[in-house]
Amino acid sequence: MLLAIDIGNTQTVLGIYHNDSLVHMWRLATKTDHTSDELRIKLHALLDAEHLTDKDIDGAILASVVPALTHNWEKVCMRSFGVETLVVSTKSCGHLVNINRSEFTELGADRVADAVAAKYVYGSPVIVVDFGTATNIEVVDREGVFRGGIIAPGVESSLESLFTRAALLRAVELEDPGVTLGRDTSQALQIGLVYGEAARVDGLVQRVQDYLGYETKVIATGGLAHRIAPHSSKITEINLELTLQGLLRIYHELTE
């Protein structure tokens, strides 16, 4: 079995693949001060709950945007399973989506994995919208070449920033308000956050498609995809497993 690890700024997603099928998936809060011992305890608790042992895992791959945790997770995999962890980067994996490394020198590992997965699962051209701490948009053209991306503040990041600057605003659930105009502060915030984010994504995707000169499939992923994507007119599918699917594909391409 393969352990795929996607370390994001807010959440760390773990997936167990058996014969290319995702059999287990967990989301953990990302804590940058966690030691390798603490991470190992958390991982083993999850494995034990599914009646898995160290011997069941024979490979590991990770994408990380939190450098402080990358090495700790590598230590966890070596100590627990005796395997070297394949660490995703533009340098090691960019050729899978024809990334020009001289142009894209700082592309995040999660963005590489999203682009790889979208290309191989959905074909080209394709656009990925990843709703996380930031809202990332990745673009693969009809020739299967990575053309670039867009990064905008994520919904929850924007919400937290707003609360710190507006004393009278209070936390709200990121839910469909069901109305176009709010009758109270909570509804008004939900409209701005949920519908506003969907409208922003639609506008950015339209700009990209105008730039390319053709329509594309648009795939949504990330922890908030199911909250925002249903209100978008451009997003064609939601795939919460997309980043892990990219890690799986990269692992096969680099180890076989």
**CATH number for position 41:** 3.30.420.40
- Active-site residue among 6, 33, 110, 176? 110
Decide if 219 contacts 122 (C-beta within 8 A).
yes
In this structure, the number of other CB atoms found within 10 A of the CB of residue 123 comes to: 12
Flag whether 252 is in a domain.
Answer: no
The pLDDT of residue 12: 94
Decide if 29 contacts 66 (C-beta within 8 A).
no
What are the angstrom distances between the C-alpha of 55 and each of 8, 78, 81? 27, 12, 7
CA distance 34 to 199: 37
The pLDDT of residue 56: 95
pTM score, whole prediction: 0.89
Check whether residue 149 and residue 75 sit in a common domain. no
Flag whether 256 is in a domain.
Answer: no
Flag whether 225 is in a domain.
Answer: yes
Check whether residue 160 and residue 51 sit in a common domain. no
Check whether residue 132 and residue 39 sit in a common domain. no
Check whether residue 239 and residue 213 sit in a common domain. yes
Q: Tell me whether residue 178 is exposed, middle or buried, using C-beta atoms within 10 angstroms of its C-beta: 0 to 12, 13 to 18, 19 or more.
A: exposed
Summarised one tens digit per residue, pLDDT across range 158-195 is: 777 676 655 455 666 778 888 888 888 788 888 888 99
Nearest residue to 71 (alpha-carbon basis) of 5, 16, 19: 5
Flag whether 153 is in a domain.
Answer: yes
The pLDDT of residue 165: 57
Decide if 127 contacts 216 (C-beta within 8 A).
yes
Flag whether 255 is in a domain.
Answer: no
Check whether residue 136 and residue 97 sit in a common domain. yes
Flag whether 253 is in a domain.
Answer: no
Check whether residue 131 and residue 44 sit in a common domain. no
Token pair belonging to 80? 């627990």
Query: Of 87, 110, 142, which residue is a domain's last?
Result: 87
Provide the domain count of the chain. Answer: 2
Contacts of 150 (CB under 8 A, 6+ apart): 136, 137, 204, 208
Name the percent of the chain lying above pLDDT 90. 70
Summarised one tens digit per residue, pLDDT across range 110-129 is: 999 999 999 999 999 999 99
Check whether residue 188 and residue 68 sit in a common domain. no
Check whether residue 83 and residue 166 sit in a common domain. no
Token pair belonging to 95? 């050729």
The pLDDT of residue 107: 82
Which residues in the chain show pLDDT less than 70?
A: 161, 163-172
The pLDDT of residue 212: 97
The pLDDT of residue 114: 95
Query: Of 87, 117, 145, which residue is a domain's last?
Result: 87
CA distance 47 to 56: 10
Check whether residue 114 and residue 210 sit in a common domain. yes
The residue range of the domain holding 83 is: 2-87
Decide if 81 contacts 104 (C-beta within 8 A).
no
Query: Of 65, 87, 109, which residue is a domain's last?
Result: 87
58 is a catalytic site residue: no
Check whether residue 243 and residue 128 sit in a common domain. yes
Check whether residue 73 and residue 192 sit in a common domain. no
The pLDDT of residue 214: 97
What are the angstrom distances between the C-alpha of 151 and each of 11, 121, 135, 139? 18, 23, 6, 12
Check whether residue 48 and residue 159 sit in a common domain. no
Please say whether the dihedral angle defined by the alpha carbons of residues 173, 175, 178 and 181, taken in this order, is positive or negative: positive
